[in-house]
A and B are shown apart, each in its own frame.
Chain A
Amino acid sequence: MTTPFDLRTRREGAALVVTLSGGVQIDQGDEFQERLLELLCGSAATLIIDLTRLEFMGSAGIAAIVAAHAKAAALGGAVHLVSPTAALRRLMELLRIPAVIPIHPTLEAAIRSVG
């Protein structure tokens, strides 16, 4: 079974790198969204969300990322996604998320893009 999501952050220039692992469980959508939005209340307006180790999320997780994207844009920043699993990438493509939020193959590529 997938474990509940874990979220860790570190500063990378003007951006905050958010590393996720585990899975966003059915009852964790609100908590996931609150955690992302809280990060944008600090000094960072740009989040680089590393999905490499995130095993699962449904539409509640996607909605949280979209909400963070909207808030970041309002603050003059952006949300960038990094290396989702094949299943999560397919999910995001199905929902046309890449049309509004960039997805990078590696963390280095995402950091360079916000440079």
Chain B
Amino acid sequence: MNVPAEFGVRDAQLTELVIPNELRAAREPGERILGELQRWGYAPDVVFAIKLALEEALTNAIKHGNRNDRAKQVVVRYFVDADRAIIMVRDEGPGFTPNAVPDCTADENLERPSGRGIMLMHAYMTRICHNQRGNEVWMFRDNRAQAPGGPVTA
């Protein structure tokens, strides 16, 4: 899947990283993207939002998509400028149906050990979309977007 047209960049503008399917290896794309956000002067609350969404996407890809299979890989593509951050995470798994994920904020699910990542990605990014197979997520964050990932008052 190419970058969604409404994200406003061309495929060739994205930087691509391929990492082994290990959580430790997932630190590298995080550090690179956070470095870009800081270079462009993103506010701390927006950096928090993007870091959170990225970690949830990478964790989902490694644990659920690739099922902790160390022989598999995760592809990360990203673009950051002053106005927006765009991140794609793709695993080699069979994909999933986003709408089939239970609501983690329902009373009966509050104490479940997992299932919060998708909800958080939607909450903290401006736009999320998946490919048809469900093994690739595109996340768009408008640098000027407000809550819940927007400005935080102490």
Whether chain B is bound by chain A comes out as yes
> Any chain B CB within 8 A of the CB of A90?
yes
| A59, A69, A86: the one within 8 Å of B56 (CB) | A59
Interface hits, B23-67 → A, CB 8 Å: 23-24, 26-27, 30-31, 34, 44-45, 48, 51-52, 55-56, 58-59
Residue of A nearest to B60 (CB): A59
| A60, A66, A69, A87: the one within 8 Å of B152 (CB) | A87
> Any chain B CB within 8 A of the CB of A62?
yes
> Any chain B CB within 8 A of the CB of A58?
yes
Majority SS at the chain A contact face: helix
B153 touches A56 (CB 8 A): no
Stretch at the interface among B79-87, B89-97, B113-121, B130-138: B113-121
Which residues of chain A are within 8 angstroms of B128 by Cβ–Cβ distance?
Answer: none
| B23, B48, B105: the one within 8 Å of A26 (CB) | B23
> Any chain A CB within 8 A of the CB of B145?
no
B52 touches A97 (CB 8 A): no
| Bound form: Cα–Cα A25–B116 in Å | 17
Which residues of chain A are within 8 angstroms of B34 by Cβ–Cβ distance?
Answer: 1
> Any chain B CB within 8 A of the CB of A96?
yes
B27 touches A26 (CB 8 A): yes
Which residues of chain A are within 8 angstroms of B52 by Cβ–Cβ distance?
Answer: 56, 58, 91
Which residues of chain B are within 8 angstroms of A69 by Cβ–Cβ distance?
Answer: 111
Distance to closest chain A CB from B11 (angstroms):
26
Which residues of chain A are within 8 angstroms of B44 by Cβ–Cβ distance?
Answer: 87
Given contacts A58-B120, A99-B110, contact A25 B27 (CB under 8 A): yes
Which residues of chain B are within 8 angstroms of A99 by Cβ–Cβ distance?
Answer: 107, 110
Given contacts A1-B34, A58-B52, A58-B120, contact A86 B154 (CB under 8 A): yes
19 additional A-B pairs beyond A94-B120, A99-B110, beta carbons within 8 Å, are A1-B31, A26-B27, A26-B30, A26-B55, A26-B58, A27-B22, A29-B59, A56-B51, A58-B120, A63-B114, A63-B116, A67-B113, A86-B152, A86-B153, A87-B152, A91-B120, A94-B105, A95-B104, A95-B119
A interface with B by C-beta (< 8 Å): 1, 25-27, 29, 56, 58-60, 62-63, 66-67, 69-70, 86-87, 90-91, 94-97, 99-100
